[in-house]
Amino acid sequence: MRSNEVKRGIDRVAHRALLKALGVLDSEIDKPFIGIANAYNTIVPGHMTLDKLTQAVKEGVYAAGGVPFEFGVIGICDGIAMGHDGMCFSLPSRELVADSIEAMVEAHRFDGLVVVGSCDKIIPGMLMAVLRLNIPAIVVTGGPMIPEKVNEQRISIMDAFEAAGRFKAGKINEFELKLYEDFCAPYCGSCQGLFTANTMQILTETLGLSLPYASTSPCASSRKLRIAKMSGQRVVELVKQNLKPLDIINERSFENAVTMDMLIGGSTNTVLHLPAIANEAGVKLSLDLFDEISRKTPHIVALDPASKDYVVDLDESGGVPMIIRKAKRFFHNELTVSGKRIYEIADMAVLRGRDIIRDISNPYRKEGGIAILRGNIAERGSVIKTAALSEEMMKFEGVAKVFDGEKEALNAILNGKIEEGDVVVIRYMGPKGAPGMPEMLLPTAAISGMGLKRVALLTDGRFSGATRGPCVGHISPEAAEGGNIALIKDGDVIRMDVKARSINAEVSKDEFAERREKWKPRERKLRGYLAKYAKLVRGADEGAILS
């Protein structure tokens, strides 16, 4: 066992003394030491019950004959960080999560690891650490939030973001605005729809790194506690079997995750996170692979923002196992941390409520819920969530209105300066340019809330999973690197054709060359972590990993 390095032998007397200071008994010294990385805090709704889940994990570890040691992990709430400079820290926090877990596990020589987390960048960072460390490990995800109702309709946090635009447009009054504020996030858990947090939880289960139904079991449910306790037991068994993440995860596992992403129409942020996670396993996930799988995978689940169904509805429909059961031929039959292969788990799936998973013969669309677009604006690629895009907007032409930042764009939208047929271009929002590639949920929510139906938004930043409509993100190369998005001007005609996978400005090569001669990169004074991050981060097309 790795932990013998800190607890066995005469020269480890002081080490054992320090362990005994923690309450470790002589009878426990020779048992497996299990690290538990807990992202609990009191600022993120998805994290506020992780202390209870971690306690259940500890009980499971004890029951199976291990010794648990808990340590903390940071977590940023994207919703609270949204729309101001704090959002620049969200994506960069993924690397901090991964690095801090690596440091704690390596320094203390744990035999096994359980990561307990929820929400957007925390789960990807934890998965990166799990694969990087490659010791027996299991993931316990916090689970989705349960929705409440306003005006007899169930709502999600997306409705709160859009409520501001609806109020500005005179569609709701101040009393109704307050109702959305009070009931859009009524419980603990990851925000109700298929946004980044819940998408990543579902993909974690699909990869095989969490137990069945971990991703869709509601936050604070008794089943979630049982899954946490079973995860604690299972990690001790994994240590005894010496079964490591890279014995389970391979290129086919990631193909399964991308396939699931397309079947459910998940958040575009997965196109950043899955390549970064795969990189830790020595697997390269290209944008071409996402598009290749998208073209042959039907879209069979529509959750908020693509519909008014939520992750709790998917859970009642049989969750991840039922999706795999209905679309089995699209998946590789890979091993999971449970010891079972995904087909075996899928065969035991149970429908408990209304079935919202369509058969593959009757999909919402014949292609997956995410598409990769390329053209003279995005020579290295860009991403659009087709699952939340109307059929009539699959092909669009409009006139550019260009903004060098999110705040300027948001003010223009809310003050009625954006009209039907416009293409809002928000640049210098990329991994290096912002830095940190902030999400553009406030502008997209304002467009929806204002009732604008034929307005597209393009950015070298990224979008929340709650974003809907013709929104193209991750444009690479980004403006700060001299990508052509930096050269777009007000009035340029921009054409988008999702089925053709193209996005182009009606600007000739000669005109772009002439504009480039006059272009100067925008300078921004940075300090601290963001200064380091901006120097090291790669483009969105590479998963915004650090060099």
Q: What share of the chain is helix, strand, coil (3-state, %, to 5)?
A: 45, 15, 40
Which residues lie closer than 8 Å to 170 by C-beta, 6 or more apart? none
Which residues lie closer than 8 Å to 114 by C-beta, 6 or more apart? 34, 35, 36, 37, 57, 61, 68, 137, 138, 139, 140, 231, 232, 235
Residue 404 contacts residue 490 (beta carbons within 8 Å): no
Candidates 93, 118, 464, 476; catalytic one? 464
- Cα separation, 131 vs 257, whole angstroms: 15
β-pairing verdict for 149-150 and 153-154: antiparallel
- Cα separation, 300 vs 444, whole angstroms: 25
The verdict on whether 307 is a catalytic residue reads no
Q: Cα dist. 156→50, 221, 402, 509 in Å?
A: 21, 19, 30, 45
| Residue 366: how many other CB atoms lie within 10 Å | 11
- Cα separation, 266 vs 202, whole angstroms: 9
Buried b (16+ CB within 10 A) or exposed e, 160-181: bbbbbbbbbeeebeeeeeebbe
β-pairing verdict for 422-426 and 395-403: parallel
Q: How far is CA 32 from the centre of its chain?
A: 32
- Cα separation, 462 vs 245, whole angstroms: 29
**502 SS3 class:** strand
- Cα separation, 219 vs 223, whole angstroms: 9
DSSP conformation class of 466:
T
Catalytic residues: 464
